[in-house]
Structure 1
Amino acid sequence: MVFMRLVCLYLIYPRFTLGRLLHSEGKIIGGVYAEEGAYPFAVSFQFDFGRHFCGGNVLTEKTVLSACHCARLSREKRYFLFWRTETYAVAGSIDRTSKQTQKRLVSQFLSHKKCDVKQYGWVYDYGLAVLKNPFNILKIQNNIRPIQIENISLANDVQSMIRSRAVCRSMGWGSQVIVKPGAHYTGLSSVLKEVKINLMTYEACMELLCEPPKSRCVGDIEKRHQICGIGPDREDVCSGDSGSALVCNGKAVAITSWGPACGEYRYPTMYSLLNVPFQWTSGGNSILVNFLALLLIIFSIKR
């Protein structure tokens, strides 16, 4: 029963939809298959039986950045941190089923202290998975590399990209098939896909979000520390893509969070910016750290 509730939450997309897991609010509809080695930081989170459910990004050999809603359980309209005992981080190939991948057990999952659902979507949607054993990222011809994060401590950097409608890319192994528009998605990809994402101004984004049939008027998006992006020709991220990176100019600036649909309607997706202070919580313990110093967190986590 607990597992079923987790799956239902996953479908919040956060793009879950609010209910679908990130995109699909969490998958890639359309798009193209990524080239091997194009995104060496990409991680597939899987249950012990191999089912993919969220994306992530290698920070260090023992830590993976993702979305906090990937480990949230819904109960009586409230969300609780939940992580299955046997959950794995898989990296090293665009084919998540390949024998070339490295598979590591997740020993701990930290969530941003302020992660929650506000109105229709997630805020402070950041999570950090700690691995029991490290990825081998020093191996010759290895396809695993830590993600490069854009130094966006100055808001002007992001604003400039938004004003110029910069074209970025997001990726994932999420759903590919729309079964019921705005409600049901299926067909997880075994091979990593990528999709071009056009950044939008906050004004244009809020206008689209408030349109029917699935209006999500969430207020000031900028204050939510998020940016909006929309794919071309009804292409988008969807269920299962949550937690994956949004890459602009070769560096990550945000991670996939939530959205009302998966491309079947002209709604944008929300991406959580990587320029906010992080206060992680696991049980009764919390850690406060600026994102640019995030790598130091590995020294504060029980091994």
Structure 2
Amino acid sequence: MAVRLSLIWLLLLGTSIDVTRGKRLDRKLLDNRIVGGQEAEDGAAPYQVSIQTTWKTHICSGVILNEQWILTAGHCALDFSIEDLRIIVGTNDRLEPGQTLFPDEALVHCLYDIPYVYNNDIALIHVNESIIFNDRTQIVELSRVQPPAGSTVTLTGWGAPESSLPTVQYLQTLNLTIIAHEECRERWDFHDGIDVGHICTFTREGEGACSGDSGGPLMWEGKLVGLVNWGRACGVGMPDMYANTVYYQDWIRRTRSGCKNRVN
């Protein structure tokens, strides 16, 4: 069963909602963590943010692009109204924010879920004030080079150890391996949800991304190459899919004046 990797299902299971305020969801059985990871060192990912509800529930991750823009998965910007979200920066401990900001605009790729579900799952979120930079809060560097198959990449996130448990308090990290695009499609029986805008990881059963990790960064040689998109719950021996940020670099740069899908 393929699933997006966020937490909205807990609150809206089986419901349909207007796309301008949320995301249509099917009944899915989800786990909720970076499976097989370990606690990250303090300050290991200063570019990472926790996207939370205003009642402090972690739902997704993202990365800092500049003083007022966050990059994340598209469904992270659609699962809740932006009025119900807050952005936490500058911390490994999601309950102890370095700074708390609030989104005032969200821009989702204009071809989100087109032509197939899970395609073009990427978004920008604008925050209401400038991010304060320090040792724990920094801009992510975007890679201009695709990581080749076999490359070791690093995933970080705040998932929970089991679907029945809450998200973890402290940031987790895990090293994974990039697999070739065609191998990824073959392992998924040529699923239409894997398109040219995805890269895939697979290392072994018992390791991988899961719900709550959506929008989180996949890093290669210290630079961003992917954002968690979707996969099978969880760590069950299938590849995970990420929005390929090398592929989407032009969209990331131009989206504020070009391809837009406003959701606020």
How high is the TM-score relative to the length of structure 2?
0.81
Q: 1:8 to 1:172 in 2, by over 3 A?
A: farther
Aligned equivalents of 2:162 and 2:10: distance in 1?
Answer: 23
Aligned equivalents of 2:167 and 2:14: distance in 1?
Answer: 14
* Corresponding position: 1:218 with 2:191: yes
**Match for 1:94 among 92, 95, 119?**
92
Q: 1:268 to 1:110 in 2, by over 3 A?
A: same
> 2:227 aligns to what?
255
Structure 1: gaps of 5 or more residues: 10-16, 74-81, 180-185, 211-216, 279-288
Are 1:27 and 1:242, in contact at CA under 8 Å, matched by a contact in 2?
no
Q: Alpha-carbon deviations, 1:128-167, whole Å to 9, x = none?
A: 1110111101x4xx31000011013xxxx44xx11xx111
* Corresponding position: 1:198 with 2:177: yes
Are 1:6 and 1:72, in contact at CA under 8 Å, matched by a contact in 2?
no
> 1:66 aligns to what?
72
* Corresponding position: 1:36 with 2:35: no
Q: Alpha-carbon deviations, 1:209-241, whole Å to 9, x = none?
A: 23xxxxxx41484x4311110244511111110
Structure 2: gaps of 5 or more residues: 1-8, 17-24
> 1:285 aligns to what?
none
Aligned equivalents of 1:91 and 1:250: distance in 2?
Answer: 19
Shift in Å, 1:113: 0.5
Shift in Å, 1:61: 1.2
Aligned equivalents of 1:260 and 1:18: distance in 2?
Answer: 14
Shift in Å, 1:208: 2.3
Are 2:114 and 2:120, in contact at CA under 8 Å, matched by a contact in 1?
no
How well do the aligned residues superpose, as a CA RMSD in angstroms?
Answer: 3.2
Equivalent position amino acid for 2:218 in 1: L
* Corresponding position: 1:131 with 2:127: yes
Shift in Å, 1:94: 0.5
Q: Which structure is larger by alpha-carbon Rg, 1 or 2? A: 1
How high is the TM-score relative to the length of structure 1?
0.71
Equivalent position amino acid for 1:169 in 2: T
Matching of residues 119-268 of structure 1 within 5 Å: 121-137=117-133, 139=134, 142-152=135-145, 157-158=146-147, 161-162=148-149, 165-178=150-163, 186-210=165-189, 217-219=190-192, 221=194, 223-263=195-235, 265-268=236-239
Aligned equivalents of 2:241 and 2:130: distance in 1?
Answer: 31
- Looking at secondary structure, tell me which structure has more strand per residue: 1
Aligned equivalents of 1:149 and 1:19: distance in 2?
Answer: 35
Q: Percent identity?
A: 25
* Corresponding position: 1:51 with 2:57: yes
Are 1:25 and 1:258, in contact at CA under 8 Å, matched by a contact in 2?
no
Q: 1:230 to 1:118 in 2, by over 3 A?
A: farther
Three-state SS of the structure 1 residue aligned to 2:232 is: coil
